[in-house]
Amino acid sequence: MNKPKPYSDMPLRNRDIKVIVNAGLARRHAAEQRFRWYGLTAISLGLIFVVLMFGSIIAKGLPAFWQTYIQVPIAFDAATLDPQGTRDPQALASADYNALVRSGLRQLFPNIEGRLELRALYGLTSTDAAYELQRQVQQNPDLIGSNQAIWLLAAAPVDTFIKGNIDRALDEAERPIKNNQIEWLDQLQGAGKIEKQFNTVLFGNGDSREPEQAGIRGALMGSFFTLLVTFLLSFPIGVATAVYLEEFAPKNRWTDIIEVNINNLAAVPSIVFGLLGLAVFINFFGLPRSAPLVGGLVLSLMTLPVIIIAGRAALTSVPPSIREAALGMGASKLQMVGHHVLPLAMPGMLTGSIIGMARALGESAPLLMIGMVAFIVDVPKNFLDPATVLPVQIYLWSDLPERAFVERTSAAIMVLLAFMILMNGLAIILRKRFERRW
């Protein structure tokens, strides 16, 4: 077969379309294949990012759920703790528990002498160790006078070292743990006096400057109070707005304005809501800074559009026949909504609200504006106590250079993500269970 002449040179009647198409087919199919590959690559890239992010955070955060403890023989010496023998709680509270920890450590390594060496030795346990002993004695004063082997919280560098995150080969000056300490730790480990226990501190403490004593309980409680305010405000108002717009509102300019407003609010950057909170709630109304109440107010303004939009979708999915039947039986419009439409739309509304709450739980930028970013050790007890929330705690910790804090930050992120998965899962279950096709 002759090679076909270029298309344009041929007289019209001679154009053999089949030949022309066939000639381009290989190229076109290759292009088709390439295009397919681009698409597949794009999706895999997105999925790889998901896996990578979860993987890196879990890999960093998982060790934080265990914490290193050192077993130290403690002599609850009556002369130090309770010289008068009165067991007076005041005296027990102010006794020198540090001395007990120190003598216990010296008992482990009786050969160590010299100020520097001793200081390195005392640095093995956390400053919390003394408080731990105090708590035990206050709980059980009968300990006084006895000898006990007690697991004491190790200091953060020791914890990091035991978890294998400090390289022994590194120059001594460059690592937070010194040669002699490594030697002692090896001895202790050989003797089975070092153990990793479940990290109760992480869930039981507020924030702290010492990584091994820092926990997320304060942030969790702060998040709880903030979200409670958010839910109590945004759910009723959101549902009421959705009901009004869907069932009662006349179609006029005013309703249009409200609708446009809601759609725009849904797209306003969250930080602008923070500015609003700062200018209105704190400066104008004089509410206290850092309070979960203000945080909840700001977040509820932010979540409202989400709940309203979801609520309206849920209301429109209820078929009009239900409304007509209720009205036909002589119900008033409000009875029709309250007795029939709202109960049927409720699962959808709840699903939307839970998703909105999950978003509010992860929000941090507006809360930075209203001062929920302070270093707060105490666990908040009510809506006006200074508090921080979980994502802001993550932000605060992520700034700290210690390896132990990196670990804790990742662990806090895992807790946050767990809550978000829980809430979204609940929303999905609700939807699956109560979704009705009419």
Partner 1 sequence: MQSFLLLTLILLSVSAYYLGRKRALAVAGGQIRNLHSLPSFYGSYTALWCGLPALIVFGVWITLQPNFLIDLVVAGLPPELRDLSPERLNLLVNDLKNQVSGSFVSSAPDPVMVEAVNRYQNLRAIGNTALWIAVLSFAVGGIAYAWRRISPTLRARNRVETAVNVFLIASSTVAIFTTIGIILSVAFESLRFFNQVPITEFLFGLQWSPQTALRADQVGSSGAFGAVPLFAGTLLISGIAMLVAVPIGLMSALYLSEYATPKFRAFAKPALEILAGIPTVVYGFFAALTVAPLIREIGAALGLHVASESALAAGLVMGIMIIPFVSSLSDDVINAVPQSMRDGSYALGATKSETIKRVLLPAALPGIVGSILLAVSRAIGETMIVVMAAGLSANLTANPLEAVTTVTVQIVTLLTGDQEFDSPKTLAAFALGLMLFVVTLLLNIIALHVVRKYREQYE
In this complex, which beta carbon is closest to partner 1, that of residue 25 or of residue 149? 25
**With binding defined as CB under 8 A, does residue 303 bind partner 1?**
no
Question: What is the nearest approach in angstroms of partner 1 to the Cβ of residue 147?
Answer: 42
CA–CA separation, 303 and 356 (whole Å)? 6
In this complex, which beta carbon is closest to partner 1, that of residue 130 or of residue 276? 276
- How far are the Cα atoms of 154, 234, 366, 389, 416 from residue 360, in angstroms, in the given order? 36, 11, 10, 11, 12
In this complex, which beta carbon is closest to partner 1, that of residue 114 or of residue 286? 286
**With binding defined as CB under 8 A, does residue 364 bind partner 1?**
yes
Among 304, 315, 342, 415, binds partner 1 (CB under 8 A): 304
CA–CA separation, 196 and 358 (whole Å)? 33
In this complex, which beta carbon is closest to partner 1, that of residue 181 or of residue 364? 364
CA–CA separation, 126 and 132 (whole Å)? 10
Dihedral of the alpha carbons of 260, 266, 268, 272, in degrees to the nearest 10: 120
Contact 345, 313 (CB under 8 A): no
In this complex, which beta carbon is closest to partner 1, that of residue 181 or of residue 303? 303
Burial 290-305 (b: 16+ CB within 10 A, else e): bbbbbbbbbbbbbbbb
**With binding defined as CB under 8 A, does residue 21 bind partner 1?**
yes
Q: Give SS3 for 147.
A: strand
- How far are the Cα atoms of 60, 159, 171, 428 from residue 162, in angstroms, in the given order? 15, 5, 18, 41
Question: What is the nearest approach in angstroms of partner 1 to the Cβ of residue 312?
Answer: 11
Binding range to partner 1, per CB under 8 A, among 56-64, 67-75, 77-85, 196-204: 56-64
**With binding defined as CB under 8 A, does residue 375 bind partner 1?**
no
Question: What is the nearest approach in angstroms of partner 1 to the Cβ of residue 276?
Answer: 5
Binding range to partner 1, per CB under 8 A, among 3-11, 122-130, 188-196, 232-240: 232-240
**With binding defined as CB under 8 A, does residue 418 bind partner 1?**
no
Binding mask 307-336 for partner 1 (x = CB under 8 A): -x-----------------------x-x--
Among 365, 400, 426, 430, binds partner 1 (CB under 8 A): 365
In this complex, which beta carbon is closest to partner 1, that of residue 28 or of residue 432? 28
Mention every residue, 6+ apart, whose C-beta is less than 8 A from residue 181: 120, 121, 123, 124, 158
Dihedral of the alpha carbons of 149, 150, 152, 158, in degrees to the nearest 10: 30
Among 218, 292, 356, 371, binds partner 1 (CB under 8 A): 371
CA–CA separation, 375 and 60 (whole Å)? 24
**With binding defined as CB under 8 A, does residue 275 bind partner 1?**
yes
Amino acid at 104: G
321: its two tokens? 């026949």
Binding mask 184-223 for partner 1 (x = CB under 8 A): ----------------------------------------
61: its two tokens? 């955060």
Binding range to partner 1, per CB under 8 A, among 167-175, 187-195, 207-215, 388-396: 388-396
CA-based nearest residue to 371, from 400, 396, 408: 396
Among 91, 417, 426, 430, binds partner 1 (CB under 8 A): 417
CA-based nearest residue to 121, from 173, 72, 75: 72
53: its two tokens? 């992010």
CA-based nearest residue to 362, from 312, 424, 278, 291: 424
Q: Which ranges of 278-341 does DSSP label H, i.e. alpha helix? A: 292-316, 320-328, 333-336
**With binding defined as CB under 8 A, does residue 429 bind partner 1?**
no
In this complex, which beta carbon is closest to partner 1, that of residue 150 or of residue 342? 342
428: its two tokens? 């999905």
In this complex, which beta carbon is closest to partner 1, that of residue 54 or of residue 198? 54
Question: What is the nearest approach in angstroms of partner 1 to the Cβ of residue 394?
Answer: 5
7: its two tokens? 């298309």
**Hey, which residues between 59 and 78 contact partner 1 (CB under 8 A)?**
60
Among 210, 424, 430, 431, binds partner 1 (CB under 8 A): 424
Burial 233-270 (b: 16+ CB within 10 A, else e): bbbebbbebbbebbbeeeeeeeeeeeeeebeebeeeeb
Binding mask 238-267 for partner 1 (x = CB under 8 A): x-xx-xxx--xx-------xx--xxxxx-x
Binding mask 172-191 for partner 1 (x = CB under 8 A): --------------------
**With binding defined as CB under 8 A, does residue 28 bind partner 1?**
yes
Among 47, 99, 149, 429, binds partner 1 (CB under 8 A): 47
**With binding defined as CB under 8 A, does residue 165 bind partner 1?**
no
122: its two tokens? 């005392």
